[in-house]
Amino acid sequence: MAPQPPLHRLVKRPDVSDWRDDELLSLAEAIALFFADGPFSKATLRIAIERGELAATMVCGKTFTTPAAIRDLLRLRVPSPAKVAPHD
């Protein structure tokens, strides 16, 4: 049996709404679904995983995430105001 192309699951379900929030996606699938025209790449997602900004799991050496985790990554985050020393 010949191996499936890496994005074969996206042929049947090309829209993000076709996927459950908790369904595992490879990083390549996540990029194709959410960032087909950029600006993110698999390397960007790996950096987000390393920084703890993107939830992911490893299965047999392959990294997976979920649509819910990608949406959480993209949620607007407002940085905490910088602590300013009082002026004398």
- Beta strands 25-26; 62-65: pairing state: antiparallel
Number of structural domains in the chain: 1
79 is a domain residue: no
48 is a domain residue: yes
64 is a domain residue: yes
pLDDT of 51 reads: 95
Query: Which domain, by its residues, includes 18?
Result: 14-74
Residue 42 near residue 31, CB atoms below 8 Å: yes
65 is a domain residue: yes
Q: Which amino acid is at 49?
A: I
For 26, other C-beta atoms within 10 Å of its C-beta total 17
6 is a domain residue: no
- State pTM to two decimals: 0.81
66 is a domain residue: yes
d(CA 24, CA 45) in angstroms, rounded, equals: 14
DSSP annotation of 44 reads: H
pLDDT of 87 reads: 61
Q: Which of 69, 73, 59 is nearest to 23 (CA)?
A: 69
List, for the chain, all residue ranges whose pLDDT scores fall below the cut of 70.
1-2, 80-88
82 is a domain residue: no
